[in-house]
Amino acid sequence: MSKIAYIADIGSTFTKALALDLESASILDRSQCPTTEQSGIEQGFLHLRDVILKNIKIPTFDLSLASSSAHGGLK
């Protein structure tokens, strides 16, 4: 069975995420939502994780990675 990674980019406006099959390097699903700094950027990260898990019908990811493309970083 392939290993599936959850990869997210937390931007200043939108958080974008995808599920990646690490063996075939194929994208299984992707989604995005607004980055919500006031209520915590973790909210968008976790929301997208749950949406993608449901869409691809697996219980969890083998690997989770996140980065930020926000200009100047998130405060």
Q: What is the pLDDT of residues 6-62, one digit of tens each?
A: 999 998 889 999 999 999 999 999 999 988 766 778 888 999 999 999 999 999 999
Round to whole Å and give the CA distance between 6 and 50: 10
pTM of the complete model beyond 0.85: yes
| The pLDDT of residue 3 is above 70 | yes
